[in-house]
Structure 1
Amino acid sequence: MTDNESDDEEPAGTRPLPLLEKRPQTFDQSASAASYTPVLTPEEGGEHRRMWSVRRLPAAVVALLGLGAAGLLLYDVVAVRADRPAMAWRRTLGEQLAARPLDDVWVLLGAGVVALLGLWLLVLAATPGHRRVLAMRGGDDDVRAWLDAEAAALVLRDRAMEVPGVRSVRVRVRRAKVEARAVAHFRELDDVRADLDTALGDAVAALGLARAPRLRVRVDRPGKRG
């Protein structure tokens, strides 16, 4: 080997690496959205019954108000039977009810308030409540399970963040619908949304819900407010 050949050789590991150039991508889309309903086979379906709320707070308020009104009225009746004058509020109320006509504004207003209160109590008695609790499928009739909607939203959000291109995502879970709004900082929006459709669809199916909610996915660019 000559001296010139030894000077031209470079030590191993010091050769420059090839330069790779990536063409800059241009994104014309600002948003991409789609919705669909996951399909459950009959074997996957189950009861859609919701958990009934015991309505502790409304029941306690109604019980306390009723107990207070009944106790006050009973005390006044006993006082009158003991030859003592009736309370001023009962005398005034009796005089007002005897003097005011039925079409008086205050009479109508009081009747409306009582009617709304009664309607509210009827709605509470006829509806199950617990709107933030989702019924799950169960293989045994004696075992019933429910999933909190906020916990389900956290699971779906973590699954959506694993999709390439997703910068942030907000998920809202309801009994009949799942809404996901994501922000993508690279990749085409349609590609990101398609991957989100697949990922969230599989995640919703894995939750084991008795009723398959509709899935709506929207993907935006950073800086765009939906």
Structure 2
Amino acid sequence: MTVDQAPVRARRLRTARTGWTGLVVVAALVVGGGLLYDAVAVRTGHRARPWRAETADRLATVHLDDPVVQISAGAAVLIGALLLGLAVAPGMRRWLPLRQPGAVIDRAGVAALLTRRARQLDGVSWVKIKVRRARTRVTVAGPADPAEVQRELRTELARVPLAGEHRLDVRTGRARR
């Protein structure tokens, strides 16, 4: 990083599902809060709200083969499937933000770039790289000088315009068999 390139405070990446999650949480709080208020009111000796009494009477008389019940159950299943799909969908954790707003790079790409450079160095027989959000941990094995490896990898990492500070830790280890 040169002197004229000050580190940019990188905002955490958010997925498109964040808005949907907020909407579901607000809806659940409103509905749950209303039900809780009415349940507490009934337990403290007050009468149930008219909407609750009407709903209880209607549910006591409606049959399972009623189209309204079937449509409501189908809608509940679809909403549940949508929420389940959003819950297991991959998020944005594998991406690192770049200096240019909205630009990102895959962590595996940064790891591959550093791995390729480390294997080009003399004396490196084995390398393992773990790229995280604010730190990259490199473990090398072989007779290579760790300070030289760190210098070369820091130069290579500086070519990637990452937003914010990014630490590079180089460690020595034993080669896997």
TM-score, normalised by the number of residues in structure 2: 0.56
Which one of the candidate residues 29, 46, 58 is aligned to 1:81? 58
The answer to whether structure 1 residue 166 and structure 2 residue 124 are counterparts is yes
Q: Is the CA contact 1:177–1:214 (under 8 Å) kept in the aligned structure 2?
A: yes
Residue identity opposite 1:219 in structure 2: T
Q: Does 1:195 align with 2:148?
A: yes
Gaps spanning 5+ residues in structure 1: where?
Answer: 1-38, 86-128
Deviations 1:175-207 (A, max 9, x none): 2111001121xx3x5x2x122111110111001
CA RMSD of superposed structures (Å) = 3.7
- CA 1:223/1:81 → structure 2, altered by over 3 Å: closer, same or farther? closer
1:200/1:80 CA distance change after superposition, 3 Å: same
Give the one of 110, 118, 139 matched to 1:152: 110
Would you identify which runs of 4 or more consecutive aligned residues in structure 1 move more than 4 Å? 76-79
Q: 1:166 is paired with a residue of what secondary structure?
A: coil
Contact 1:177 1:213 (C-alpha < 8 Å) held by counterparts: yes
Structure number having the greater helix percentage: 2
Deviation of the 1:51 alpha carbon: 2.0
**Distance change >3 Å, CA 50–CA 42, structure 1 → 2:** farther
The one-letter amino acid paired with 1:210 is A
Larger Rg: 1
Q: Which residue of 1 aligns with 2:168?
A: 215
Q: CA deviation at 1:223?
A: 5.5
After superposition, the C-alpha distances for 1:136-190 in whole angstroms (9 at most, x for unaligned) are 112xxxx531111121111111111111111121111112111001121xx3x5x
Matches within 5 A, 1:1-226: 41-55=3-17, 59=21, 78=55, 80-81=57-58, 84=61, 130-138=92-100, 143-184=101-142, 187=143, 189=144, 191=145, 193-222=146-175
Please tell me the residue identity of whatever aligns with 1:49: R
How many residues are paired up?
128
Percent identity over paired residues: 29
Distance in 1 (CA, whole Å) between partners of 2:12 and 2:111 is: 19
Q: Which runs of 5+ in 2 are unaligned?
A: 36-50, 63-90
Cα distance between partner residues in 1 of 2:120 and 2:126? 10
Tell me the TM-score normalised to structure 1 length.
0.46
The 1:183/1:131 distance shift into structure 2, 3 A limit, reads same
Indicate conservation of the 8 Å contact 1:205/1:212, yes or no. no
Q: 1:83 to 1:221 in 2, by over 3 A?
A: closer
- Give the 3-state SS of the residue equivalent to 1:216 in structure 2: strand
